[in-house]
Structure 1
Amino acid sequence: MGLLASILAVCIAIVCLFEPIHAVYIPGPNDAHVFKSAVASFSVGDDLGVSLFMPVNKVDCTPEEDRLYMPAEFTHTSDLQFFGNVSTGVFDKMKYKTCKGSSKTIDASKIPLVFFEPQVGTSRFLYSTLARFMAANGMAIAILDHPETSSSAILDPFLDLKQWNETVTQTVDARIQDINLVLKQLSDVSVLQRQFPGLKFNSTLDTQSYSIVGHGIGGSVATTLSTLDPRVRFSINLSGTPPLLNHPTYSTIYFFGRSDFRRENDIHWPTTWKYLAGRATEWDFQDAGIFDFSDLPWIADLARQDEKITIDNINGLHDKLGPFGFHVNACYLEAYLKAELTEPKYGWVGDCLRIFDQMKPYPGGVH
C-alpha cells in the first residue's frame, strides 16, 4: 500500500509539473461576427511552421474543441523573451476555443487569403488571437514561423531598424521564398483536407490573389511584396521599415506607426512615401510599444486579472494601454480587411476611430 501511495504521489507531481492548474481561456470575437475559426498547425519542408486559420460559419460549426494558445516547446522561450523569466508560466496557461468540424462543404476558392508575417525572433503563436479575430470576418489567415538563420538571429525584435543591410535583405528575401512555398502547398485541395480532417472542401484557396499583414520585419516583407508581386491585393505594415523605393508604385499600402515611430523617424519611409502613387495611409498608435501590435497586451492582462500573476515589466510594451493595445490594433485590422476584401465600405475604419482615441491619423494627411 505504501508503494502504491508513493507511485500515486509521483504521478500527481508529474501532472502538476506539466499541466497548468487551470486554463485561462482567451475570448473570441463577439457575436456580431459570422464566422468561427478552424485551426491547423503544420510544417512545410523541414523547418517552416504554418498556422492556418480557416473561417467556418458559426451556425455550421460542430463541435468546438479546446486548443493550447502556444505549444509547450515555445512557452518558456516566449516567457523569457517578454517577461525575462522562463518560469513565469504566462503562456502555458492560455487556451482558446476552435471549430473542429463543419456540417457543410466549404468552397475555399471564395475565401480571401491573408498572410500574417511575425516580427523577427518571435513565435507565430503570439499572433493567433489577432488571426482568430481577422478570420472571423471570412478570411483565411496564414501565419508563418520562418527558419532562423545566423543572419536573422542578430536582428533585435524590440528595436526599429537603423540600417537596411545585407542581413535585412537576406531575411526579407528568405521570407518571400517561404511565402511562395506555402502558396504552392495551399493550391492543393488535398493539403487543406489533410490538415482539416473535420472539414470538407470542394475547392482549394485562390493562391493567385492574396493580401499580407506584417509586424516589424514582417511589415518590411509585407510592403516589399506589395511593390513586387502583382498577386498582392493590399498590404498592412505594422511598425516596420519599408524597402527604399526610387520609382512609383500603385499598390495599396497602409502603414501603422507609433507616436515615437512615425514615417519621419524611419530610415526609409520619408523617401519611399514620395513614390506611393496608389492608396497610402499612415496611422500612429499613441503611447504604444512595438509589441502592442500583437496579442501580448491582452495576454498579459489576462494573466494578471484571471491568473493573478504578478507582472512588473513587459518587454516590448510601454504598458500604458493595457488590453486596449490589442483591441485597438484588432479593430483596425478587421476594418481594413473587411473594407478591402469582403464588405467594401470604408465606414468600418471610421467606426474604429470613433471608438478608440488611441490611434491617430498622421498629421500630414494621406501623403
Structure 2
Amino acid sequence: MQSMLSVLFLLLANTTAGYLVPNPSGKYNVTLTTGPLVDYSRNDPYAATPTPRALMLSVFQPARCASTVPALAMPNKTADYQGEFLQQTFNISADLTPLFLEARLPVCADHAHKRCSPLDDSPILLFSPGYSIPRLYYNVLASAIASEGFTVITIDHPHDANILVYPDSHAVYNNVSIQDSPTWDAYTRAADASFVIDQLRNATAMAELLPYRGARPFPTDRVAMLGHSIGGASAIIAASQDPRIRAAINWDGTIFGSPPPPGLGLSEPVRLMSQPVLFLSHQDFLDPSWLSTWPLLRGPKMVAYVANTTHYTFSDIPSLFEAAGQSTAPFADLLGTIAPASVVCILTAYTTAWVQAAFAGEKGGLELGEFPEVETLMKGNF
C-alpha cells in the first residue's frame, strides 16, 4: 500500500497546480500573511553565536472577501525537508514530501489592495507547535479556527522546528539539545508568546509584519493561547506567567519538567493560575503531568479525549491526505482512524467555544456541541 501511495504522490508532485485543501467551514474567509518578529532584547539561547531571537509567524485573519486564491502551504525549502524527516522519525518508507510540496490553501485574494476586509478587532489566538514540527503543519487547523472569527497567529520557535526558513531564504535547524532542558524549552516558548503580545501593541512592528494594515496596533484585551504537544504545555506555562493570556488550550501535550528557573519559588513548571484551561488528549489517554498540574488551576478546567486518534492526529497531516485524495489507512498507527474532517471540526469547535466562554467570563453554560468521538474525563470549577 505504501509503494502505491509513493507512486501516486510522485504523480501529484508532477502536477504544477498541486491540490487545494477545502475552504474552512466558518462564516468568514481567511487572509494569510507570514513574516518575522525579532526580539532584539533577547539572544537566542540555542544559536551558536549571540543572535537576537527571531521568530517566524503566520497570521490568519478572518475576512469578508468575494474570492480566494491558492497559496503555498509551505515554502519549497521547508516542504523538501519533510519527507526525509518523517521517514527517519517514524521509520516509514513512503516519501511524503509531495504531500507538503503540492498543498495549497484557499486564502483571500488582493487583501493588500483593499478588495477584502479583515476583521481587525477579532480575538487573538497564539499557537505553538509540537517539538521539531514547523508551524506550517497546522495551517488547515489555524485557518478553520480563524474562519470562526479569530485572528490566529502560529509561531515557529527557532532551533526548535526541524527547519525554519526566513524571508531571505536562510534557514535554521532543530537543535536537539532542547530535549536536555527539563521543560523541553517551554519557558523560552512562553517568553516568545509574551514577546508576540508586546509586539501586537507596537504599531511600527505591526506595519512591518502586516503592511496592508498600516501603523496600527492590535487590541490585546482578548488573547488566548493554544498548542500541540510541547506547544500545548507551553501555552499553559505561558498563561500562568502572563495574565494577558486569558485562556489556555493544550492539545495532547505533556508538561515536562519540575523545577522552574531559580527565584520563582515554585515546585512545578506551572504557577497558580485562574485562567480557564482545556486539555484535549488522544484516545483513552490521561497524561500524569496533567494530574499533577490540576490542583494549580483555579479557574474552569476540563480534560477530554478524542476517540480513534493518536498524538499525531492533532495536525494537518490527515487533512492533507484527504485533500490529496489519498487514504490515511496505511498510516493508521500514526494518524488514527478518525475521519480527518471530523478532527478539524472537533478541534475548532472545542477551541472556539472554550476561548469565547473565557472572554465572556462565563463559568457555566459552555456550549461545546455534541460529538460522539469526545468523552469528558475530568471537569472542575464550573
Give the alignment's TM-score, normalised by structure 2: 0.74
Contact map agreement 1:134 1:337 (CA 8 A) in 2: no
Equivalent residue for 1:92, pick from 92, 101, 110: 101
The structure-2 alpha-carbon separation of the partners of 1:119 and 1:104, relative to structure 1 and needing over 3 Å to count, comes to: closer
Task: Write the letter of the residue equivalent to 1:332.
Answer: Y
CA distance in 2, matches of 1:339, 1:231: 16
Cα deviation, residue 211, structure 1: 0.6
Equivalent residue for 1:296, pick from 314, 317, 340: 317
CA distance in 1, matches of 2:308, 2:134: 24
Cα deviation, residue 205, structure 1: 0.9
- Match runs of 1:349-364 below 5 Å: 349-351=367-369, 354=370, 356-362=371-377, 364=378
> 1:11 maps to which residue?
none
> 1:159 maps to which residue?
none
CA distance in 1, matches of 2:81, 2:344: 21
CA RMSD of aligned residues (A): 3.3
The structure-2 alpha-carbon separation of the partners of 1:86 and 1:74, relative to structure 1 and needing over 3 Å to count, comes to: farther
The structure-2 alpha-carbon separation of the partners of 1:235 and 1:92, relative to structure 1 and needing over 3 Å to count, comes to: same
> 1:119 maps to which residue?
130
Deviation by residue 1:33-70 (Cα, 9 ceiling, x = unmatched): 332211111122374211111222x2xx2553320111
CA distance in 1, matches of 2:304, 2:54: 35
Equivalent residue of 1:327, what SS? Answer: helix
Equivalent residue of 2:319, what SS? Answer: helix
> 1:173 maps to which residue?
187
Cα deviation, residue 129, structure 1: 1.0
The structure-2 alpha-carbon separation of the partners of 1:300 and 1:18, relative to structure 1 and needing over 3 Å to count, comes to: closer
> 1:27 maps to which residue?
22
Deviation by residue 1:242-274 (Cα, 9 ceiling, x = unmatched): 3636874322111112234214xx2x2222212
Give the alignment's TM-score, normalised by structure 1: 0.77
> 2:48 maps to which residue?
none
Give the percent of matched residue pairs that are identical in Structure 1 and Structure 2: 21
Q: In structure 1, list runs of 5 or more residues that go unmatched.
A: 1-15, 156-164
Task: Write the letter of the residue equivalent to 2:303.
Answer: E
Equivalent residue for 1:220, pick from 226, 230, 233: 233
> 1:277 maps to which residue?
298
Contact map agreement 2:127 2:226 (CA 8 A) in 1: yes
Q: In structure 2, list runs of 5 or more residues that go unmatched.
A: 1-10, 39-52, 161-172, 257-267
Task: Write the letter of the residue equivalent to 1:334.
Answer: T
CA distance in 2, matches of 1:55, 1:180: 23
- Match runs of 1:6-85 below 5 Å: 20-30=15-25, 33-45=26-38, 47-56=54-63, 58=64, 61=65, 64-82=68-86, 84=92, 85=94
After alignment, is 326-335 or 223-232 more displaced? 326-335
Equivalent residue of 1:70, what SS? Answer: coil
Deviation by residue 1:114-159 (Cα, 9 ceiling, x = unmatched): 101100110111111111111112221111111116996267xxxx
CA distance in 1, matches of 2:81, 2:329: 17
> 1:259 maps to which residue?
283
Equivalent residue for 2:203, pick from 167, 171, 189: 189
Task: Write the letter of the residue equivalent to 1:91.
Answer: F
The structure-2 alpha-carbon separation of the partners of 1:297 and 1:309, relative to structure 1 and needing over 3 Å to count, comes to: closer
Contact map agreement 2:62 2:118 (CA 8 A) in 1: no
Task: Write the letter of the residue equivalent to 1:29.
Answer: P
Equivalent residue of 1:282, what SS? Answer: strand
Contact map agreement 1:297 1:326 (CA 8 A) in 2: no
